[in-house]
Amino acid sequence: MLTPRATRKGTTVTSRALVLGGGGITGIAWELGILTGLAEAGTDLTDADLIVGTSAGSVVGAQITSGTPLAELFARQLRPVRDEIAMRLPWSATARIAWAVATERDPARARARVGRVAHASARSSLTERREVMRQRLPSHTWPTADLRVTAVNARTGHREVFHRGRAAPLVEAVNASCAVPGVYPPVPIGGRLYIDGGMYSSANADLAAGYDRVVVLAPIARGAGPLASPQQDLAHLPGKPATVVVSPGEDAVAAIGRNRLDPARRAPAAEAGRAQAAEVRWSVARVWGE
């Protein structure tokens, strides 16, 4: 629901949405780096009226609305990697997913086919993933802030948007949003199975419809087939809101590396995001109204 509020100057009434896209473990780190660097420069995006989180962005959204200081969340990204291992999408699953997306005209049916791939080729257990998510989230209850978490119904291919008013535990909703097909298992919620929200759109920025100012942090800025890019989502927003999409710059791309699910790249990605904030601060501040 739209909840406009007065800006800091108190002269106008505006509403702000922060959209956090998907991008794996390194995407979480990069987004927290960008948010930290911007806050240090005087532009705090965490007080948005609406926060939309997809996949990695759902983790970040849950973290920044938990009451945990942003500096602490950033510091966690710099800790040495211990028991975590790098995961990769198998080539066989990659081929099956690409074939489903390329050959199916109906986007929902394509996503449902991907859901079947996800169910058959997961490389970790649901129990393991739940424990990982519990450790990753500082709070396991929905925040009072308007946080929206996206996932895709693995049977129908339709998008689901979880929030405080929707009967789904926060940990399960975020776990579903992060269920990368072919790597992590689909997540059961309310008798239905869900996969990664990034299978609908890399950022689901269309959910910011009705807001005056929209900032999108997009570790993955491109679309593919029926998967809309953030720019495509924003182009269809009514009312022509002020928008900006921030994606990894050249240095950040190098820091992230080729495997977005490699925890060893977490610290470099976070540091690169923090450094990149200086480059994008003014474009973000103009949209944010500061």
- Residue 250 forms part of a structural domain: yes
Q: What is the predicted pLDDT for the residue at 121?
A: 61
Place of tokens 């308007």: 146
Average model confidence (pLDDT) for the chain?
Answer: 89
Q: What CATH number should be reported for the domain holding residue 230?
A: 3.40.1090.10
Q: What's the pLDDT tens digit per position in 153-172?
A: 999 999 999 999 877 999 99
Per DSSP bridges, beta strands 50-54 and 16-20 are parallel
Q: Which domain holds residue 244?
A: 16-87+118-288
Position 227 scores a pLDDT of: 76
Judge whether 201 counts as a catalytic residue. no
Q: For the full predicted model, state whether its pTM sits above 0.75.
A: yes
Please report whether residue 3 resides in a domain: no
| Alpha carbon distance 176, 193 (integer Å) | 8
Residue with more model confidence, 8 or 286: 286
Catalytic residue among 49, 146, 177, 196: 196
- Whether 96 shows a pLDDT value over 80: the answer reads no
Long-range pairs for 142-146 at CB < 8 Å and ≥24 separation? Answer: 142/170, 143/62, 143/65, 143/66, 143/67, 145/51, 145/65, 146/1, 146/3, 146/49, 146/50, 146/51
Q: Give residue 8's pLDDT.
A: 43
Q: Please tell me which residue in 15, 49, 55, 121 is annotated as part of the active site.
A: 55
Residue 71, domain member (yes or no): yes
Q: Report the domain count for the chain.
A: 1
196 tagged catalytic: yes
Give the per-residue pLDDT at 183: 87
- pLDDT tens-digit map of 233-262: 999 899 989 999 999 999 999 999 999 999
Is 111 inside a domain boundary? no
Listed in sequence order, the residues at least 6 apart from 82 whose beta carbon sits closer than 8 Å to its beta carbon are none
Is residue 282 included in any domain, yes or no? yes
- Asked whether residue 258 is assigned to any structural domain, the reply reads yes
pLDDT value at 125 more than 90: no
Residue (of 104, 241, 130, 105) closest to 185 by Cα position: 130
Radius of gyration of the chain (CA): 18
Which run of H or E residues covers position 72? helix 70-77
What is the spatial distance between Cα 204 and Cα 177, in angstroms, rounded to a whole number? 12
What is the structure's pLDDT at 13?
Answer: 67
Q: Per the domain annotation, does 253 fall within a domain?
A: yes
Q: How many other C-beta atoms can be found within 10 angstroms of the C-beta atom of residue 9?
A: 8
Q: Given pLDDT bands bounded at 50, 70 and 90, which one contains residue 228?
A: confident
**Residue 5 pLDDT greater than 50, yes or no:** no
| pLDDT at residue 1 tops 50 | no
- Tens digit of pLDDT for each residue in 179-203? 998 888 899 999 999 999 999 999 9
83, part of any domain: yes
Provide the pLDDT for residue 65.
98
Give the confidence band of 11 by pLDDT, cuts at 50, 70, 90: very low
